[in-house]
Amino acid sequence: MAPIPASTRVRYERVHQMRGGLAAVAIVKGACGGCYRGQPPQVLQEARKRDRVIICEGCGRLLIWPPETP
Ligand SMILES: [Zn+2]
């Protein structure tokens, strides 16, 4: 069995985590897709990098940068 690259594993674990109970919403036009609270630029930047989990301060849900957005 070939070793799974760390990046793939992290992505998988993150998806698994999301399905594990915490609600996740996509970021829509710079705002939370759940409560529509506008997110600060640095939060959007972090979300775009996808290297950490972002939590909306408005509703407490996980913020996911939409995959189709460059
Ligand atoms: Zn929210």
pLDDT in tens, 16-43: 555 555 689 999 999 999 999 999 999 9
Rounded CA separation 18/61 (Å): 10
Ligand 1 centroid–CA 23 distance in Å is 10
Ligand 1 centroid–CA 5 distance in Å is 32
- Please name the residues in contact with 46: beta carbons below 8 A apart, sequence gap of 6 or more: 52, 54
Ligand 1 centroid–CA 45 distance in Å is 16
Rounded CA separation 33/58 (Å): 11
Ligand 1 centroid–CA 20 distance in Å is 19
pTM: 0.62
Ligand 1 centroid–CA 10 distance in Å is 24
Three-class SS state of 9:
helix
- The answer to whether the CB of 27 falls within 8 A of the CB of 65 is yes
